[in-house]
Amino acid sequence: MKNFLPGPTEVNPEILAELAKPVMGHHTPEFRDLISQLKSRLQYIFGTENEVITLTCTASAALEAALVNTCKEKILVVSNGAFGERWLQAARSRGLASDGLVLGWGIPIPPYEVRRLLDRVPYDTVVMVHGESSTGMLNPIEPISELLKAHPEIVFIVDAVATLGGVELQMDKSRIDVLVGASHKCLALPPGVVPLGLSPRALKRSKSAKQKGYSFDFNLWAESWHENKVVGTPAVPQLQAMLTQLDRIQDESIQVRWKRHKNMQELTIHWAEKNGFIPFPPEDYRLPSVSCLRPEVSRATSPIVAALTERGFLIDSGYGKLKGRTIRIGHMGDWTTEDIKGLLDHLSQVST
Ligand SMILES: Cc1ncc(COP(=O)(O)O)c(C=O)c1O
């Protein structure tokens, strides 16, 4: 079965073989050496000189940890899809005072609305989703980071779960304070390990955070990683596999990887336009790692997905309220344009 889900995505056999190696102890010199090597490689894909760590959990748990580590008085969550809505719900369920700029799914974020809110309310934390995989939408970071230049006290959290390692993103250049990635999307690793970038502003804020607890205390983690140590026993085999994959990414180069994702996206969009599907987000806001396509003439998409599965290809029939009405294709990770052409050939045959 070839996995073109929008995550978890296909994992290369070379990486799967790494997972089968003997498990090293997490207090050994070998493991400390592993952490040391992971740091420089993660900084490379994050585009940062900040502290980087990995947490062993879901990306949602890591994002929730970011909220409790950084919120002082009030959070603004900017949302135009399922994951933006999830972060607002997570903040509220934690009892953190939060406002949402909640737009319709697939509606681009208007920077003037964000500016209006920032001028009116003294938010200390702003959250946005870079790649909204529920709608296949790319939310440009730059207009929001520009606005935040006038608000040096605000901690900027970015959900880069569906973009880290596949879509252009530079933590330092974009003034991002907490960048939450994922192993199981563009990095093409198994799920369960979350790479995070933490700026000095985020770490300073976390020092006085009251609800952060122990296991997800960002300062404790950053200090530990700084010394090539960890807090608790992490997913050691996953980290061993991560090092091999990050080496493969460095060999490819991050810029070439971004371009490969764009090329796969272009093929998919071109196919959609020729085969009676419309990309869900407007042009200029389409995600290089995940496409969400809806049929021009409304019809159920589950039979298409099922027919494709019979042919050995996994894609998805939509997320949340779009389930059964769209198809979502993950053109990410280690897939190539040739692989996407193969998938789209079969898709043409089952979708007419
Ligand atoms: C953009 C985005 N954010 C967050 C998540 C949540 O990740 P997890 O399922 O690891 O909690 C996902 C998962 O699909 C996602 O695509």
pLDDT tens track for 126-182:
999 999 999 999 999 999 999 999 999 999 999 999 999 999 999 999 999 999 999
Threshold 0.75, pTM exceeds: yes
Instruction: Please write the tens of the pLDDT for every residue from 207-244.
Output: 999 889 999 999 999 999 999 999 999 999 999 999 99
Q: Quick one: which H or E segment has residue 156? A: strand 155-159
Distance 352 CA to ligand 1 centre (A): 31
Residue owning tokens 């799914």:
105
* Angle (nearest 5°) at CA 84 between 118 and 183: 120
Distance 194 CA to ligand 1 centre (A): 11
Distance 137 CA to ligand 1 centre (A): 14
What pLDDT does residue 135 have? 98
Answer yes or no: is the C-beta of 159 below 6 A from any ligand 1 atom: yes
What pLDDT does residue 10 have? 98
Distance 108 CA to ligand 1 centre (A): 20
- Find the mean pLDDT for residues 292-312: 96
Residue 161: DSSP 8-state? T
What pLDDT does residue 11 have? 98
Residue 316: DSSP 8-state? B
72 — pLDDT class (breaks 50, 70, 90): very high
Pairing of strands 51-56, 155-159: unpaired
What pLDDT does residue 352 have? 83
Distance 186 CA to ligand 1 centre (A): 12
> Measured from the CA of 134, which atom of ligand 1 is nearest?
16
Answer yes or no: is the C-beta of 83 below 6 A from any ligand 1 atom: yes
332 — pLDDT class (breaks 50, 70, 90): very high
Q: Are 195 and 54 in contact (CB under 8 A)?
A: yes
Pocket test for ligand 1, best of 133, 137, 167, 185 (most atoms within 8 A of CB): 133
Q: Nearest Cα to 257, choosing from 269, 273, 246?
A: 246
Instruction: Please write the tens of the pLDDT for every residue from 27-40.
Output: 999 999 999 999 99
- Percent of the chain at pLDDT above 90? 99
Count of positions (residues) in the chain: 352
Pocket test for ligand 1, best of 9, 58, 60, 89 (most atoms within 8 A of CB): 60
Give 169-231 as a 3 state SS string.
Answer: CCCCCCCCCEEECCCCCCCCCCCCEEEEEECHHHHHHHHCCCCCCCCCCHHHHHHHHHCCCCC
Answer yes or no: is the C-beta of 58 below 6 A from any ligand 1 atom: yes
* Angle (nearest 5°) at CA 308 between 307 and 311: 95
> Measured from the CA of 7, which atom of ligand 1 is nearest?
14
Check whether the bond before 282 is cis (ω within 30° of 0).
Answer: no
Distance 29 CA to ligand 1 centre (A): 33
- Max alpha carbon distance in the chain (Å)? 60
Q: If you average pLDDT over every residue of the chain, what do you get?
A: 97
The amino acid that residue 265 corresponds to is Q
Tell me the C-alpha distance between 257 and 323, whole Å.
Answer: 30
Instruction: Name the CA radius of gyration of the chain, rounded.
Output: 20
The residue whose C-alpha atom lies closest to atom 2 belonging to ligand 1 is: 161
Q: How far is CA 40 from the centre of its chain?
A: 20
